[in-house]
């Protein structure tokens, strides 16, 4: 099946610009985002669902995870499992595969792009990472926060770019601190080691130089995933941080920055 179909998506948009794109441009976009390769993975792993699908997809691409600190995963899964976001796809797959395989039921806060993969719909609670969310989405989020279900989350909300001359997340949004305290959720910080290609960051720098707001480099994320074929990704799970320690001695922003700094310390 053709789960990801750029030509079909373009035709469905109410946009004269998109609908008038030449066929060769559409074909070029399909090649850039590796449409055939993505559909091949989904079809080959179609019989699996949720975290198991992610495990099989990583195996499909021969991507191995070298995990340090599995003993730091607490018995109770009522936590925010928060991580840096250097890759885009592989870290999303890895984080949810690790936590989902360990606890069973999990939810990940992600964007609507995951709707293209039916095997992940049970795992993702879709949010608008670029704007406001609907009232219903906020209600569902609050229900999730109050539940005992483990939640995976990338607090930066974007794939890591160049920050302070390093490939790293910039500012972790404070919301996970606030929700951890309010809902008595502990926090488990996790680090993924590595980076994307020089091309990814070059396109980012070029568009920033010319003031282009559109995140053009995001189209390369599938390519970045396929470049990890046959490689081993190092992952470090840090000791749990009790929500009780997140007191008023620091603001929510300061606690978020402290945990982000911890993730990058080693």
CB burial of 135-153 (b: ≥16 within 10 Å; e: otherwise) equals: eeeeebbeeebeeebbbbb
Mean of the per-residue pLDDT values for the chain? 92
Global model pTM greater than 0.75 = yes
179 pLDDT band, cuts 50/70/90, is very high
Mean per-residue pLDDT, 17-46: 91
Residues 150-160: tens digit of each pLDDT: 999 999 999 99
Q: What is the pLDDT of residue 131?
A: 61
Q: How many CA atoms lie within 13 A of 110 on its CB side?
A: 23
128 pLDDT band, cuts 50/70/90, is low
Q: How many CA atoms lie within 13 A of 142 on its CB side?
A: 8
* pLDDT higher than 80, residue 129: no
Residue labelled with tokens 């310390």: 265
Q: Worst-scoring range by mean pLDDT, 10-14, 121-125, 135-139, 222-226?
A: 10-14
Q: What is the pLDDT of residue 130?
A: 56
Report the C-alpha gap between 81 and 62 in whole angstroms: 25
Q: Which of 120, 197, 196 is nearest to 152 (CA)?
A: 120
Report the C-alpha gap between 158 and 63 in whole angstroms: 22
Paired with 234 in beta bridges are 66
Angle at 50 between CA 235 and CA 98, to 5 degrees: 20
Choose the CATH number for 61-196+233-263 among 3.40.50.150, 1.10.8.590, 3.40.1130.10, 3.40.950.10.
3.40.1130.10
Interstrand relation of 151-153 and 166-168 (parallel, antiparallel or unpaired): unpaired
Mean per-residue pLDDT, 33-61: 96
Q: Worst-scoring range by mean pLDDT, 64-73, 117-126, 164-173, 252-261?
A: 117-126
Q: What is the pLDDT of residue 135?
A: 83
Mean per-residue pLDDT, 33-58: 96
77 vs 17 pLDDT, higher one: 77
Mean per-residue pLDDT, 170-179: 96
2 vs 235 pLDDT, higher one: 235
Q: Which of 129, 173, 178, 123 is nearest to 152 (CA)?
A: 123
> How is the chain split into domains, by residue range?
61-196+233-263
16 vs 155 pLDDT, higher one: 155
46 pLDDT band, cuts 50/70/90, is very high
Q: What is the pLDDT of residue 132?
A: 72
16 pLDDT band, cuts 50/70/90, is confident
Quick one: what percent of the chain has pLDDT higher than 90? 76
Residues 207-227: tens digit of each pLDDT: 999 999 888 999 999 999 999
Report the C-alpha gap between 116 and 35 in whole angstroms: 12
Contact 225, 61 (CB under 8 A): yes
């Amino acid at each position: 099946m053709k789960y990801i179909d750029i030509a079909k998506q373009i035709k469905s948009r109410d946009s004269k610009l998109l609908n008038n794109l030449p066929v060769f441009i559409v074909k070029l976009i399909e090649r850039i985002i590796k449409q055939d390769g993505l559909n091949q993975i989904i079809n080959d792993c179609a019989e699996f669902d949720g975290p198991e699908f992610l495990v099989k997809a990583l195996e499909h691409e021969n991507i191995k995870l070298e995990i340090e600190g599995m003993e730091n995963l607490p018995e109770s899964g009522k936590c925010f499992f928060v991580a840096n976001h250097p890759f885009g796809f592989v870290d999303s797959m890895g984080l949810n595969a690790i936590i989902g395989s360990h606890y069973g039921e999990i939810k990940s806060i992600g964007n609507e792009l995951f709707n293209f993969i039916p095997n992940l719909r049970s795992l993702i609670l879709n949010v608008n990472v670029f704007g406001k969310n609907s009232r219903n989405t906020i209600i569902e989020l609050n229900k999730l926060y109050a539940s005992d279900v483990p939640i995976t989350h990338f607090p930066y909300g974007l794939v890591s770019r160049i920050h302070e001359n390093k490939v790293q997340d910039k500012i972790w949004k404070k919301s996970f601190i606030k929700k951890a305290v309010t809902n008595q959720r502990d926090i488990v910080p996790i680090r993924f080691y590595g980076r994307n290609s020089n091309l990814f960051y070059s396109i980012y720098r070029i568009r920033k130089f010319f003031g282009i707001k559109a995140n053009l480099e995001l189209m390369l994320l599938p390519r970045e995933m396929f470049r990890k074929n046959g490689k081993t990704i190092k992952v470090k799970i840090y000791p749990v941080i009790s929500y009780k320690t997140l007191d008023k001695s620091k603001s929510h922003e300061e606690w978020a920055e402290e945990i982000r700094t911890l993730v990058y310390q080693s």
